[in-house]
Chain A
Amino acid sequence: KNEVEQSPQNLTAQEGEFITINCSYSVGISALHWLQQHPGGGIVSLFMLSSGKKKHGRLIATINIQEKHSSLHITASHPRDSAVYICAVSYNNDMRFGAGTRLTVKP
């Protein structure tokens, strides 16, 4: 079993839909990160969370430390949101990554 599990693996949505991607982890962590990997391969850090909730534009990330679970929400999704979204946890000196959720938003 992976230390970081994401669901769903693949997600297709229509433009404007509300999207939720989930992440569960099994190790003690100091922080959780949400990353975005575009089709060209570049990786951008979206959020770093250690508790509660953060919001940036149409993106919202939440974490429940007791339940070892985090969610990434996208409101009013747009085709340019199409990417792979990766959950990662800070563990000792390194990060452990989920397999990613491939999101496709259709116009």
Chain B
Amino acid sequence: NAGVMQNPRHLVRRRGQEARLRCSPMKGHSHVYWYRQLPEEGLKFMVYLQKENIIDESGMPKERFSAEFPKEGPSILRIQQVVRGDSAAYFCASSPQGTTQITQYFGPGTRLTVL
């Protein structure tokens, strides 16, 4: 049973470009969480999705950021018109149920560098 997959592992973008980060949850998991870890800072919640639904996006910046988890395929975190401050590690995690009272399984992360 493969773990949570994220790709790409490293992504370099120039200011103003778009970044697309992909997350494939563990088999049987229909709940996905995205977290951001800024350099030298702790993890911060961004968004929680279930298949085809955004359940909680209270941690997402209001502009330029969006997330989806379609019926088929991976969850996508999309950052439009990236700025240097978007440089960070983005982790996704998945769980089989929609509660944070169970273990979440983390992916290896995508390290975004904005030049």
Binding site for B on A (CB under 8 A): 30-31, 33, 35, 41-45, 48, 50, 86, 88, 90-100
Binding site for A on B (CB under 8 A): 33, 35, 41-45, 48, 55-56, 58-59, 89, 91, 93, 98-106, 108-109, 111
A95, B102: Cα distance in complex, Å:
11
In the complex, residue of chain B having the shortest beta-carbon distance to the beta carbon of A95: B100
In the complex, residue of chain A having the shortest beta-carbon distance to the beta carbon of B48: A93
- Contact of A48 (CB < 8 Å), options: B56, B91, B98, B103: B103
Can you list 17 A-B contacts with CB-CB less than 8 angstroms, sorted by A residue number?
A30-B99, A33-B104, A41-B89, A41-B109, A42-B108, A42-B109, A88-B43, A90-B101, A93-B55, A94-B59, A94-B100, A95-B104, A96-B45, A97-B35, A97-B43, A99-B41, A100-B42
Which 4 residue pairs of A and B lie closest in terms of their CB atoms, listed nearest first?
A90-B100, A94-B45, A93-B56, A43-B106
Residues of B within 8 A of A33 (CB): 103-104
- Contact of B100 (CB < 8 Å), options: A42, A43, A44, A91: A91
A97, B108: Cα distance in complex, Å:
18
- Contact of B101 (CB < 8 Å), options: A41, A42, A50, A94: A50
In the complex, residue of chain B having the shortest beta-carbon distance to the beta carbon of A50: B101
A81, B109: Cα distance in complex, Å:
21
* Extra inter-chain contacts (10) besides given A33-B104, A41-B89, A97-B44, CB under 8 Å: A33-B103, A35-B106, A41-B111, A43-B93, A45-B103, A90-B100, A92-B56, A93-B55, A93-B56, A97-B35
Residues of A within 8 A of B99 (CB): 30, 90
A43 touches B91 (CB 8 A): yes
A91, B102: Cα distance in complex, Å:
12
- Contact of A97 (CB < 8 Å), options: B42, B55, B101, B111: B42
